[in-house]
Amino acid sequence: MGLLAAIAVTNRRAAGRVERALAATERLRADAERTLADPAAAPAAPHDAGRRLAAAFVEPREAHDAAVGEWWQRDLAEQQVLAAEQAAHRTLAATAERRGRPGQGLAPVPSIGAV
């Protein structure tokens, strides 16, 4: 009975949750990038944008991990989740760099996995 219930009851919204989480993370990452590039931004603006991004960028991975367990799902975008995580990490590193050196330009931040 348990196996039959597991097959019959699936979370059909899991893949949609991954897509929504990816879109939200990309919007917040782009917002943080714009804030970093804006010389007229308030000193706390990059920090605030980074905090919003940090709070949201784990959602695509959590949503993906939950969706992988569902057997009746369309193909999930593992590479998109990984790329979103890496881009968010780079942006967060840039916001931390900006916070560490107020009033100075941003130093280039190496990508994840760079040697």
Q: Which domain holds residue 80?
A: 12-100
Q: How crowded is residue 113: how many other Cβ atoms within 10 Å of its Cβ? A: 6
Is residue 1 situated within a structural domain?
A: no
Q: Flag whether 46 is in a domain.
A: yes
Contact criterion met (CB below 8 Å) for 56 and 28 = yes
pLDDT digits (tens, 9 = 90+) for 65-82: 877 766 655 566 788 899
Return left, alpha or beta for 36; rule: phi > 0 is left, psi -120 to 50 is alpha, else beta. alpha
In a domain, 108, yes or no: no
pLDDT at 92 over 80: yes
pLDDT of residue 71: 61
In a domain, 72, yes or no: yes
More confident site: 72 or 109: 72
Give residue 107's pLDDT band: very low, low, confident or very high (50, 70, 90): very low
Q: Where are the alpha helices (DSSP H) in the chain?
A: 2-8, 14-37, 45-56, 59-68, 78-100
Which residue would you say has higher pLDDT here, 62 or 106? 62
Residue 27 belongs to a domain: yes
pTM score, whole prediction: 0.68
Q: How many domains does the chain have?
A: 1
